[in-house]
Structure 1
């Protein structure tokens, strides 16, 4: 990156793209929906609008993090899962952030000195699900409609036990702290930030760009390439 290129960030960053799904922004453009459906391997795809209706009868139907305030400085830490964080003694620094965003099953217990103990948001999908305490937001990263159906099942019937892998039928989490990454945001990260390299963005990279959108300042802690 050329640090003298002032346009580098602004040609990629689009503050109008929805980060989190709700009932009001769930009607996607056809190109977005078709791209997102193309990530799915399910032979039978559910009716998306029906799934959305069920989702937001169970979970908060809100416009999360859209209000800006010039007097606010929300400081966030995005903590990666690389083993090179061991021995860093960054735990206290990480926990000092307003939001501490962790990814998939990145552990904290037993490693608090290096990674901290605070988790305000954990980005996950069904195949990487884990139990959460009541202070942590479950942020679902849906790569397919069945991921959303799994989330519904976790809090209701618990009947979904597999996707393309075996998954947990239930987890401990606070229903009032559930959020869902918008499929349009995944496409935006792929096109604007990855320039369509690969098939789709990784969970870690989506999390970094998610933090850019909801935080005023964020620190990336020990990332592996």
Structure 2
């Protein structure tokens, strides 16, 4: 009788282990079935995150991408563009005569962990000593006129991608990808001229242009149409979620007094906020993504 009881107990234990193992495997697929080699990959298993994150959205324009007229009409209202859809398409066609036909991106792989550092321009970077940590990442995205020289200990030394628009443009070396954030047809014309007649005497690594449909997606899906349109910094952050498997975020948010200022400047206008950008909404979303472990947010001081 006792031997029969032991057999039943053994059978129950074996069944429990098998059920538990199947449950574990359904949550944590084997390495060769995972989309990346990181400890944690962006996953469709998280319904809260996937409610916003749309993998099918094309972040960059390419020669084969056809922007819809509806997306164009939304985009043209951002800065009161007067050109029509035909003018836009002709301008894009001319642009792809001088830039690569498709974006130069690091593709996902089960045996690779693509790490991104998104480096904002907040004064919170000052005295942070994040420089070595930032430089450790595969892809380092900066935006606009973010200064490196003199601040290397806090912001690092490397840049692989710089997101900017013409009014905030800086000279780049030939190892840094220019990622243009266009808000009007004139921005696309500026890029064509910059690459054909020269821009401050330097050449660029492969150039990439943010898709107006991607800008709309960030504004509508992520920011729920708050503000006029997303900040360059927030566009860069969502872009990183689409380009990388692990994302670290540095240099975002207002200072301890609520001022939105740059780490390389001494603030003069202490009433300056974020213009048409929903800064507080963007900051809260970054905090939320950090809590969901979809990115790592380094707040500074």
Q: Normalized against structure 1, the TM-score is what?
A: 0.87
The structure with the largest alpha-carbon Rg is 2
Q: Name structure 2 gaps, 5 residues minimum.
A: 1-45, 255-301
CA contact (8 A) 1:75 1:97 kept: yes
Partner in structure 2 of residue 221 of structure 1? 250
Question: Which of 133, 136, 146 does residue 173 from structure 2 map onto?
Answer: 133
- Paired with 1:13 and 1:53, the residues of 2 have a C-alpha distance of 29
Go from structure 1 to structure 2 and tell me whether the alpha carbon gap of 1:176 and 1:120 turns closer, same or farther (over 3 Å shift).
Answer: closer
Q: Once the 2 structures are TM-superposed, how far is the Cα of residue 53 of structure 1 from its aligned partner?
A: 1.4
Q: Deviations over 1:62-85 (max 9, x none)?
A: 144373211111101000101121
1:29 counterpart residue number: 68
Report the count of equivalent residues.
Answer: 209
1:77-104 per-residue CA deviation (whole Å, 9 max, x = no partner) reads 0001011211111111111100110010
- Closer/same/farther in 2, CA of residues 78 and 55 from structure 1, 3 Å limit: same
Bigger shift: residues 81-90 or 116-125: 81-90
- CA separation of 1:204 and 1:132: change in aligned 2, threshold 3 A: same
Instruction: Give the counterpart of 1:144 among 177, 184, 191.
Output: 184
- Normalising by structure 2, report the TM-score: 0.66
Distance 1:187 1:44, change over 3 A: closer
Find the partner of 1:61 among 80, 84, 101: 101
- Paired with 1:120 and 1:66, the residues of 2 have a C-alpha distance of 12
Deviation at 1:172, TM superposition (A): 4.8
Q: How far does residue 175 in structure 1 lie from its aligned partner after superposition? A: 4.0
- For 2:207, the equivalent position in structure 1 comes to 178
2:28 maps to which residue? none
SS at 1:78 equivalent: strand
Instruction: Kindly indicate which of the two structures has a greater share of residues assigned to helix.
Output: 2
Determine which of 185, 202, 211 is the counterpart of 2:240: 211
* SS in structure 1 of the partner of residue 238 of structure 2: helix
Tell me the distance in 2 between the aligned counterparts of 1:172 and 1:89.
33
Instruction: Check whether the contact 2:176–2:204 (CA below 8 A) recurs between aligned residues.
Output: no
Q: Which sections of structure 1, spanning at least 5 residues, go unmatched?
A: 1-5, 159-169
Mapped partners of 1:88, 1:189: distance in 2: 29
3-state DSSP of counterpart to 1:210: helix
In structure 2, relative to structure 1, the CA distance for the partners of 1:195 and 1:219 (3 Å cut) is: same
Conserved in 2, the CA contact under 8 Å of 1:80 and 1:222?
A: yes
Report the counterpart of residue 164 of structure 1 in structure 2. Answer: none
Residues 100-119 of structure 1 aligned to structure 2 (within 5 Å): 100-119=140-159
Q: Which of 194, 215, 219 is 1:190 aligned to?
A: 219
Q: Contact conserved, 2:160 with 2:176, CA < 8 A, in 1?
A: yes
Correspondence 1:69-80 to 2 at 5 A: 69-80=109-120
Deviation per residue, 1:13-41 (Å, 9 max, x gap): 0010001111101x112221110111132
Structure 2 CA distance for aligned equivalents of residues 176 and 100 of structure 1: 14
